[in-house]
Protein backbone atom coordinates (compact mmCIF):
# COMPACT_ATOMS: atom_id res chain seq x y z
CA UNK A 1 0.00 0.00 0.00
CA UNK A 2 1.10 3.53 -0.79
CA UNK A 3 0.12 6.35 1.56
CA UNK A 4 -1.39 9.39 -0.12
CA UNK A 5 -2.14 12.96 0.86
CA UNK A 6 -4.57 14.98 -1.22
CA UNK A 7 -3.91 18.70 -1.26
CA UNK A 8 -6.89 20.90 -2.05
CA UNK A 9 -9.19 18.05 -1.12
CA UNK A 10 -12.23 20.28 -0.60
CA UNK A 11 -12.70 21.33 -4.24
CA UNK A 12 -14.46 19.35 -6.94
CA UNK A 13 -11.24 17.92 -8.35
CA UNK A 14 -10.10 16.97 -4.86
CA UNK A 15 -13.44 15.31 -4.15
CA UNK A 16 -13.19 13.29 -7.35
CA UNK A 17 -9.68 12.20 -6.35
CA UNK A 18 -10.97 11.13 -2.93
CA UNK A 19 -13.85 9.21 -4.54
CA UNK A 20 -11.59 7.28 -6.90
CA UNK A 21 -8.67 6.69 -4.55
CA UNK A 22 -11.04 5.41 -1.86
CA UNK A 23 -11.66 2.41 -4.11
CA UNK A 24 -8.05 1.91 -5.17
CA UNK A 25 -6.58 -1.38 -3.90
CA UNK A 26 -3.04 -0.04 -3.45
CA UNK A 27 -3.48 3.54 -2.21
CA UNK A 28 -4.41 4.54 1.31
CA UNK A 29 -5.49 8.13 2.02
CA UNK A 30 -3.78 9.31 5.20
CA UNK A 31 -4.22 13.06 4.80
CA UNK A 32 -6.77 15.49 3.39
CA UNK A 33 -5.62 19.09 3.23
CA UNK A 34 -8.05 21.98 2.95
CA UNK A 35 -6.80 25.05 4.74
CA UNK A 36 -10.20 26.79 4.83
CA UNK A 37 -11.98 23.77 6.31
CA UNK A 38 -9.54 22.36 8.85
CA UNK A 39 -10.89 20.29 11.68
CA UNK A 40 -14.10 19.20 10.00
CA UNK A 41 -15.08 15.82 8.63
CA UNK A 42 -15.07 15.21 4.91
CA UNK A 43 -18.66 14.05 5.12
CA UNK A 44 -19.70 17.49 6.36
CA UNK A 45 -18.52 19.00 3.07
CA UNK A 46 -19.50 16.11 0.82
CA UNK A 47 -22.35 14.07 2.36
CA UNK A 48 -21.97 11.40 -0.32
CA UNK A 49 -18.91 10.16 1.61
CA UNK A 50 -20.97 9.17 4.67
CA UNK A 51 -19.80 5.54 4.73
CA UNK A 52 -16.12 6.09 3.92
CA UNK A 53 -13.47 6.13 6.66
CA UNK A 54 -11.46 9.26 5.89
CA UNK A 55 -9.11 11.53 7.87
CA UNK A 56 -10.33 14.81 9.31
CA UNK A 57 -9.45 17.73 7.05
CA UNK A 58 -6.20 19.27 8.21
CA UNK A 59 -3.80 22.08 7.47
CA UNK A 60 -0.72 21.31 5.43
CA UNK A 61 1.50 22.25 8.37
CA UNK A 62 0.00 19.37 10.36
CA UNK A 63 0.98 16.65 7.88
CA UNK A 64 3.75 14.25 8.91
CA UNK A 65 5.55 13.74 5.61
CA UNK A 66 7.67 10.83 6.85
CA UNK A 67 4.82 8.40 6.11
CA UNK A 68 3.69 9.91 2.80
CA UNK A 69 4.52 8.20 -0.49
CA UNK A 70 2.49 10.26 -2.95
CA UNK A 71 0.83 13.65 -3.13
CA UNK A 72 -2.13 14.40 -5.35
CA UNK A 73 -2.11 18.18 -5.56
CA UNK A 74 -5.49 19.64 -6.49
CA UNK A 75 -4.53 23.18 -5.54
CA UNK A 76 -5.12 26.15 -7.84
CA UNK A 77 -2.33 27.46 -10.05
CA UNK A 78 0.23 29.50 -8.17
CA UNK A 79 -0.42 27.80 -4.86
CA UNK A 80 0.62 24.39 -6.12
CA UNK A 81 4.17 25.26 -7.17
CA UNK A 82 5.04 26.82 -3.82
CA UNK A 83 3.74 23.88 -1.79
CA UNK A 84 5.30 21.27 -4.06
CA UNK A 85 8.71 22.93 -3.97
CA UNK A 86 8.67 22.86 -0.16
CA UNK A 87 7.94 19.12 0.06
CA UNK A 88 9.56 17.90 -3.15
CA UNK A 89 12.27 15.94 -1.35
CA UNK A 90 9.95 14.56 1.32
CA UNK A 91 7.86 12.23 -0.86
CA UNK A 92 8.48 9.73 -3.64
CA UNK A 93 5.92 10.95 -6.16
CA UNK A 94 3.98 14.14 -6.84
CA UNK A 95 0.95 14.13 -9.12
CA UNK A 96 0.04 17.75 -9.78
CA UNK A 97 -3.38 18.55 -11.22
CA UNK A 98 -2.83 22.29 -11.45
CA UNK A 99 -1.35 24.26 -14.36
CA UNK A 100 1.90 25.03 -12.54
CA UNK A 101 4.15 22.46 -14.20
CA UNK A 102 2.48 21.88 -17.56
CA UNK A 103 4.12 24.65 -19.56
CA UNK A 104 7.87 24.39 -20.06
CA UNK A 105 8.37 28.10 -20.78
CA UNK A 106 8.22 30.14 -17.53
CA UNK A 107 7.67 33.34 -19.50
CA UNK A 108 4.63 31.82 -21.17
CA UNK A 109 3.34 30.73 -17.76
CA UNK A 110 3.73 34.30 -16.47
CA UNK A 111 1.95 35.71 -19.52
CA UNK A 112 -0.99 33.32 -19.23
CA UNK A 113 -1.41 33.18 -15.45
CA UNK A 114 -0.36 36.70 -14.55
CA UNK A 115 2.37 35.77 -12.08
CA UNK A 116 5.99 34.75 -12.24
CA UNK A 117 6.86 31.07 -12.00
CA UNK A 118 9.11 31.05 -8.95
CA UNK A 119 10.47 27.52 -9.41
CA UNK A 120 11.32 27.18 -13.13
CA UNK A 121 13.82 24.38 -12.48
CA UNK A 122 10.91 22.08 -11.66
CA UNK A 123 9.44 22.70 -15.12
CA UNK A 124 12.39 20.80 -16.59
CA UNK A 125 11.80 17.87 -14.23
CA UNK A 126 8.07 17.45 -14.74
CA UNK A 127 6.55 14.86 -17.08
CA UNK A 128 3.44 15.93 -18.95
CA UNK A 129 0.79 13.41 -18.01
CA UNK A 130 -1.22 12.94 -21.18
CA UNK A 131 -1.10 9.23 -20.50
CA UNK A 132 -1.76 7.85 -23.95
CA UNK A 133 1.02 10.01 -25.40
CA UNK A 134 3.64 9.99 -22.64
CA UNK A 135 3.15 6.52 -21.17
CA UNK A 136 6.79 5.44 -21.54
CA UNK A 137 8.12 8.51 -19.72
CA UNK A 138 5.83 8.05 -16.72
CA UNK A 139 7.51 4.95 -15.27
CA UNK A 140 9.39 6.11 -12.18
CA UNK A 141 8.52 9.78 -12.73
CA UNK A 142 8.88 11.97 -9.67
CA UNK A 143 6.73 14.93 -10.74
CA UNK A 144 3.81 14.47 -13.12
CA UNK A 145 1.98 17.50 -14.50
CA UNK A 146 -1.49 16.34 -15.43
CA UNK A 147 -3.03 18.13 -18.44
CA UNK A 148 -5.99 20.42 -18.25
CA UNK A 149 -9.41 18.99 -19.08
CA UNK A 150 -9.78 20.83 -22.38
CA UNK A 151 -6.31 19.75 -23.62
CA UNK A 152 -7.00 16.15 -22.58
CA UNK A 153 -10.27 15.99 -24.47
CA UNK A 154 -8.94 17.84 -27.52
CA UNK A 155 -5.55 16.14 -27.78
CA UNK A 156 -6.87 12.60 -27.39
CA UNK A 157 -9.19 13.31 -30.29
CA UNK A 158 -6.30 14.56 -32.41
CA UNK A 159 -3.51 12.23 -31.23
CA UNK A 160 -3.50 9.55 -33.99
CA UNK A 161 -3.86 12.17 -36.72
CA UNK A 162 -0.93 14.15 -35.30
CA UNK A 163 1.32 11.11 -34.79
CA UNK A 164 0.72 9.90 -38.35
CA UNK A 165 1.08 13.34 -40.02
CA UNK A 166 -2.37 12.80 -41.52
CA UNK A 167 -3.68 16.36 -41.16
CA UNK A 168 -2.68 19.88 -42.13
CA UNK A 169 -1.25 21.46 -38.98
CA UNK A 170 -2.19 24.93 -40.21
CA UNK A 171 -5.90 24.10 -40.19
CA UNK A 172 -6.97 22.87 -36.73
CA UNK A 173 -10.14 24.34 -35.26
CA UNK A 174 -11.34 23.17 -31.83
CA UNK A 175 -14.80 24.01 -30.50
CA UNK A 176 -15.08 22.75 -26.91
CA UNK A 177 -17.82 22.76 -24.28
CA UNK A 178 -17.61 21.97 -20.57
CA UNK A 179 -19.95 21.48 -17.66
CA UNK A 180 -19.95 23.99 -14.82
CA UNK A 181 -17.86 21.89 -12.42
CA UNK A 182 -14.83 22.79 -14.54
CA UNK A 183 -14.90 26.24 -12.99
CA UNK A 184 -14.46 24.85 -9.46
CA UNK A 185 -16.55 25.04 -6.29
CA UNK A 186 -15.83 28.64 -5.39
CA UNK A 187 -18.73 31.03 -4.96
CA UNK A 188 -19.25 33.27 -7.98
CA UNK A 189 -22.19 35.25 -9.28
CA UNK A 190 -21.45 34.07 -12.81
CA UNK A 191 -21.98 30.47 -11.67
CA UNK A 192 -25.35 30.97 -9.96
CA UNK A 193 -28.03 28.65 -11.32
CA UNK A 194 -29.97 31.58 -12.76
CA UNK A 195 -26.85 32.81 -14.54
CA UNK A 196 -25.90 29.60 -16.36
CA UNK A 197 -29.10 27.57 -16.72
CA UNK A 198 -31.05 27.55 -20.00
CA UNK A 199 -28.15 28.87 -22.00
CA UNK A 200 -24.67 28.38 -23.38
CA UNK A 201 -21.91 30.90 -23.97
CA UNK A 202 -18.36 31.08 -25.22
CA UNK A 203 -15.71 32.60 -22.97
CA UNK A 204 -12.00 33.52 -23.02
CA UNK A 205 -12.41 33.80 -26.77
CA UNK A 206 -9.10 33.67 -28.66
CA UNK A 207 -7.08 33.83 -25.44
CA UNK A 208 -7.93 30.80 -23.29
CA UNK A 209 -5.00 29.53 -21.22
CA UNK A 210 -5.36 25.97 -22.48
CA UNK A 211 -4.69 26.87 -26.13
CA UNK A 212 -0.91 27.26 -25.63
CA UNK A 213 -0.89 24.00 -23.65
CA UNK A 214 -2.53 22.26 -26.60
CA UNK A 215 -0.04 23.87 -28.99
CA UNK A 216 2.94 22.88 -26.83
CA UNK A 217 1.83 19.24 -26.90
CA UNK A 218 1.19 19.28 -30.64
CA UNK A 219 4.73 20.58 -31.10
CA UNK A 220 6.06 17.77 -28.88
CA UNK A 221 4.18 15.23 -30.99
CA UNK A 222 4.95 16.63 -34.44
CA UNK A 223 8.15 18.62 -33.94
CA UNK A 224 6.53 21.72 -35.41
CA UNK A 225 5.16 24.91 -33.87
CA UNK A 226 1.49 25.48 -34.59
CA UNK A 227 -1.37 27.81 -33.79
CA UNK A 228 -4.79 26.32 -33.23
CA UNK A 229 -8.14 28.05 -33.18
CA UNK A 230 -9.65 27.10 -29.81
CA UNK A 231 -12.93 28.33 -28.36
CA UNK A 232 -14.36 27.02 -25.05
CA UNK A 233 -18.00 27.22 -23.99
CA UNK A 234 -19.80 26.77 -20.68
CA UNK A 235 -22.94 24.65 -20.83
CA UNK A 236 -25.51 24.12 -18.04
CA UNK A 237 -24.64 20.63 -16.87
CA UNK A 238 -22.65 19.52 -13.83
CA UNK A 239 -19.90 17.48 -15.44
CA UNK A 240 -18.77 16.35 -18.85
CA UNK A 241 -17.01 17.81 -21.84
CA UNK A 242 -17.10 17.60 -25.62
CA UNK A 243 -14.47 18.81 -28.07
CA UNK A 244 -15.35 19.06 -31.74
CA UNK A 245 -12.25 19.46 -33.90
CA UNK A 246 -12.32 20.39 -37.56
CA UNK A 247 -9.23 19.24 -39.44
CA UNK A 248 -8.06 19.26 -43.04
CA UNK A 249 -6.56 16.01 -44.29
CA UNK A 250 -3.01 15.96 -45.57
CA UNK A 251 -2.50 15.42 -49.28
CA UNK A 252 -3.20 11.84 -50.30
CA UNK A 253 -5.00 10.91 -47.04
CA UNK A 254 -8.66 9.88 -47.19
CA UNK A 255 -11.29 9.70 -44.49
CA UNK A 256 -11.13 5.89 -44.52
CA UNK A 257 -7.33 6.05 -44.22
CA UNK A 258 -7.70 8.21 -41.13
CA UNK A 259 -10.34 5.96 -39.64
CA UNK A 260 -8.03 2.96 -40.02
CA UNK A 261 -5.21 4.90 -38.36
CA UNK A 262 -7.49 5.61 -35.39
CA UNK A 263 -8.63 2.00 -35.16
CA UNK A 264 -5.05 0.75 -35.14
CA UNK A 265 -3.84 3.39 -32.66
CA UNK A 266 -6.59 2.97 -30.09
CA UNK A 267 -7.39 -0.74 -30.31
CA UNK A 268 -5.32 -1.56 -27.21
CA UNK A 269 -5.99 1.61 -25.21
CA UNK A 270 -7.96 0.72 -22.06
CA UNK A 271 -9.63 4.11 -21.70
CA UNK A 272 -10.14 5.28 -25.28
CA UNK A 273 -13.09 4.05 -27.32
CA UNK A 274 -13.45 4.72 -31.05
CA UNK A 275 -17.14 4.78 -31.87
CA UNK A 276 -18.51 2.82 -34.80
CA UNK A 277 -18.86 4.79 -37.99
CA UNK A 278 -21.88 7.10 -37.87
CA UNK A 279 -22.19 7.07 -34.06
CA UNK A 280 -21.68 10.36 -32.23
CA UNK A 281 -20.45 10.08 -28.62
CA UNK A 282 -22.48 11.62 -25.81
CA UNK A 283 -21.12 13.07 -22.58
CA UNK A 284 -23.81 11.31 -20.52
CA UNK A 285 -22.35 7.93 -21.49
CA UNK A 286 -18.95 8.54 -19.87
CA UNK A 287 -20.13 10.34 -16.72
CA UNK A 288 -18.01 9.36 -13.71
CA UNK A 289 -15.68 7.16 -15.76
CA UNK A 290 -12.12 7.48 -17.03
CA UNK A 291 -13.24 6.81 -20.61
CA UNK A 292 -12.71 9.04 -23.63
CA UNK A 293 -15.03 8.31 -26.55
CA UNK A 294 -14.06 9.51 -30.01
CA UNK A 295 -15.86 9.64 -33.35
CA UNK A 296 -14.78 10.62 -36.86
CA UNK A 297 -17.13 12.09 -39.44
CA UNK A 298 -16.38 12.95 -43.04
CA UNK A 299 -17.24 16.60 -43.54
CA UNK A 300 -19.37 17.80 -46.44
CA UNK A 301 -16.33 19.85 -47.47
CA UNK A 302 -14.02 17.58 -49.45
CA UNK A 303 -10.81 16.78 -47.58
CA UNK A 304 -12.07 17.79 -44.15
CA UNK A 305 -12.91 15.58 -41.16
CA UNK A 306 -14.84 16.34 -37.97
CA UNK A 307 -13.41 14.69 -34.84
CA UNK A 308 -15.63 14.52 -31.76
CA UNK A 309 -14.27 13.50 -28.35
CA UNK A 310 -16.03 13.38 -24.99
CA UNK A 311 -14.74 12.92 -21.45
CA UNK A 312 -15.85 13.55 -17.89
CA UNK A 313 -13.90 16.72 -17.09
CA UNK A 314 -13.45 15.68 -13.44
CA UNK A 315 -12.40 12.10 -14.16
CA UNK A 316 -10.47 11.52 -17.39
CA UNK A 317 -9.98 15.29 -17.53
CA UNK A 318 -8.55 15.46 -14.03
CA UNK A 319 -8.51 13.01 -11.09
CA UNK A 320 -8.96 9.80 -13.09
CA UNK A 321 -6.09 10.60 -15.42
CA UNK A 322 -4.01 11.56 -12.37
CA UNK A 323 -4.53 8.09 -10.87
CA UNK A 324 -3.87 6.47 -14.25
CA UNK A 325 -0.57 8.36 -14.34
CA UNK A 326 0.33 7.38 -10.79
CA UNK A 327 -0.36 3.73 -11.58
CA UNK A 328 2.17 3.95 -14.39
CA UNK A 329 4.82 5.69 -12.27
CA UNK A 330 4.67 2.65 -9.97
CA UNK A 331 4.73 0.06 -12.75
CA UNK A 332 1.19 -1.06 -11.91
CA UNK A 333 -1.55 -1.79 -14.42
CA UNK A 334 -2.79 1.64 -15.43
CA UNK A 335 -6.40 0.51 -15.04
CA UNK A 336 -5.99 -0.20 -11.33
CA UNK A 337 -8.80 1.43 -9.36
CA UNK A 338 -10.33 2.91 -12.49
CA UNK A 339 -12.55 0.17 -13.88
CA UNK A 340 -16.05 1.36 -13.14
CA UNK A 341 -19.33 1.65 -14.99
CA UNK A 342 -20.37 5.12 -16.09
CA UNK A 343 -23.31 6.64 -14.22
CA UNK A 344 -26.54 6.69 -16.25
CA UNK A 345 -28.91 8.43 -16.47
* C-alpha to C-alpha distance for 5 and 63, rounded to whole angstroms: 9
The answer to whether residue 200 is catalytic is: no
In angstroms, rounded to a whole number, what is the distance separating the alpha carbons of residues 86 and 163? 37
Residue 34's nearest CA partner among 77, 2, 63 is 63
Catalytic residue among 74, 146, 149, 153: 149
Per the document, the length of the chain is 345
Beta-carbon neighbour count of residue 325 at 10 Å? 26
Strand order in the sheet with 143-145: 57-58, 27-33, 2-7, 70-73, 93-96, 143-145, 127-128
Point out the residues that are catalytic.
149
Amino acid sequence: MKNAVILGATGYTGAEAVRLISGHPKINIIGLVGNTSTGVTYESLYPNFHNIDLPIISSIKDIDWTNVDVIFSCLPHGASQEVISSIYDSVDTIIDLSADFRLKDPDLYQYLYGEKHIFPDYLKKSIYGLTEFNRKKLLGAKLVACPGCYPTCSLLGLLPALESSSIDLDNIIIDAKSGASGTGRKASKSLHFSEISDGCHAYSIANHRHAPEIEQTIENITGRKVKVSFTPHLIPMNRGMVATSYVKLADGVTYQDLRQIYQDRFKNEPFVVLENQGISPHSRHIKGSNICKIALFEDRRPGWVIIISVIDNLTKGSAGQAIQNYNLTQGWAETLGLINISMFP
